[in-house]
Amino acid sequence: MKYTRIPHTDIRISKICLGTMTWGRQNDEDEAHEQMDYALDQGVNFFDTAEMYPVPPKKELYAVTEELIGNWFKKTGNRDKVVLATKIAGPGYAAKEIRDTGFSRDSIIGAVEGSLKRLQTDHIDLYQLHWPERNTNFFGQRGFNAHAIDGWEDNIHQVLETLRDLKAEGKIRHVGISNETPWGTMRYLEESKVHQSLPRMLTIQNPYSLLNRLFEVGLSEISMREQIGLLAYSPMAFGVLSGKYLGDVPPRKARVTLFPQYDRYSSPSAVEATKKYAELAKEHNLNMAQMALAFVNSRPFVTSNIIGATTMEQLKENIESIEVNLSDEVLKGIDEIHNSIPNPSP
């Protein structure tokens, strides 16, 4: 395994992060525990979850993923071997069964307390805001809608004050953002620069893959100049970049087959790009999934690459991608495809 550090800290984390959003829906507890056992044995010490998991969200399954992780900590005693990240859900349709009070002080405190209880731990190493409260472009929306009505009032100072107080109590160690834009990222960073008693956002968890490189526009420069590390999610584009959906018959029990609403990686242009990446991998005798992950692993602004798997075979393949080094010829081929079909799946 290769390791990096959460920026501005001495916390050493694996370059491969174990994602958990299928646990409790596509994977049962035994399978989740097997994945954690194996990942830890392979040197993966960074786990990412969220109160909204498993996904797609369902009222009766709220926060089940955190409970499964907490049960594993209790069973194995491995809490001190893991750097643990979780998230508070923002307002909106995806969290309508959780709460509708956004990032108010009471909401954040209640969410942290709930996660601590379910995870059976006394602290969270990295606590993240899952998506913005304000009306902006995330979750597949390419551009900002300047005409949309937005009742949000800037409360970023108050959010950071609440997170500061939770840090002081020892309940969270560090904080990060997710599904954020360049404006939101800089807004948080500037607030903590002006008011130095407030905690600094250290990471940003956004989508990044061969089919969605929009992080490179604006956010990658911020990431590198401000030292806010990308935790790349959906690096496999819901499994599309394994090539398994290119056949005439969709694979049974696969994510996009089970949940066709997750179709952002299935547009005609995305399928065309995926076919080209599959051809490139074949030409260079590479496993397509590992090529896709190795590309993300190689980016200088990526602090950790969040993988997710529903089978042990997938998990092993994904973790082994850390040993794959792409040649200049392969990287050139990737850029040629990207330039011909740029970001088909924002």
Q: Which two tokens stand for residue 35?
A: 């994945």
Among candidate residues 208, 206, 198, the one with its CA nearest the CA of residue 174: 198
What number is the average pLDDT over the span 285-303?
Answer: 98
What number is the average pLDDT over the span 329-343?
Answer: 98
pLDDT digits (tens, 9 = 90+) for 36-49: 999 999 999 999 99
Percent pLDDT > 70 in the chain is: 100
Q: What pTM does this model have?
A: 0.96
pLDDT of residue 95: 83
The reply to whether 208 belongs to the active site is no
Write down the catalytic residue from 3, 53, 188, 265.
Answer: 53
What distance in Å separates the CA atoms of residue 195 and residue 188, rounded to the nearest whole number? 11
Position 322 confidence tier, pLDDT thresholds 50, 70, 90: very high
pLDDT of residue 149: 79
pLDDT of residue 189: 98
What distance in Å separates the CA atoms of residue 152 and residue 14, rounded to the nearest whole number? 36
Domains of the chain, each with CATH number or no CATH: 3-237+300-325 (3.20.20.100)
Report the length, in residues, of the chain.
Answer: 346
Position 8 confidence tier, pLDDT thresholds 50, 70, 90: very high
Q: Which residues of 234-258 are buried (b: 16+ CB within 10 A; e: fewer)?
A: bbbbbbbbbbbbeeeeeeeebbbee
